[in-house]
């Protein structure tokens, strides 16, 4: 249990470092950090948290930073995220939060 927590912490730290390196312009080092994080998660059988999993391209392991390495478009309630390095696209359906709707009706 302790081992999995340390692996997960290391994965999160590597992904955060990759974003910093990408913002500084060192994309190759940033990709290597993402590859290491994915390798740690596979070897240690630890899932990468969803918020961090969405921070990189699944195809080329580039950190996705809007305007720098990623393009975001919204078309008919669908968010389209495109990696500018390999043109890989990911689509997310945009929905309203059910809790906020109920709070607004009361």
Please report the pLDDT score of residue 56 as a whole number: 96
Helix (H/G/I), strand (E/B), else coil: 44: helix
pLDDT higher than threshold 70 for residue 101:
no
pLDDT digits (tens, 9 = 90+) for 51-97: 999 999 999 999 999 999 999 999 999 999 999 999 999 999 999 87
12-42 in b/e form (b: 16+ CB < 10 A) is: eebbebbbebbeeeebeebbebbebbbebbe
Please report the pLDDT score of residue 105 as a whole number: 58
| Whole-structure pTM value | 0.82
Question: Any bridge partners for residue 83, and if so which?
Answer: 70
Please report the pLDDT score of residue 2 as a whole number: 77
pLDDT digits (tens, 9 = 90+) for 7-61: 999 999 999 999 999 999 999 999 999 999 999 999 999 999 999 999 999 999 9
């Amino acid at each position: 249990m302790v081992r999995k927590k340390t692996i997960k912490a290391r994965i999160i730290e590597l992904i955060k470092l990759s974003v910093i390196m990408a913002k500084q312009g060192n994309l190759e080092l940033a990709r290597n950090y993402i590859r290491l994080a994915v390798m740690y998660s596979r070897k240690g059988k630890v899932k990468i948290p969803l918020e961090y999993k969405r921070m990189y391209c699944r195809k080329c392991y580039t950190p996705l930073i809007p305007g720098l390495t990623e393009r975001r478009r919204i078309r008919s309630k669908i968010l389209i995220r495109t990696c500018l390095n390999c043109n890989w696209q990911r689509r997310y359906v945009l929905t309203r939060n059910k809790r906020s709707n109920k709070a607004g009706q009361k």
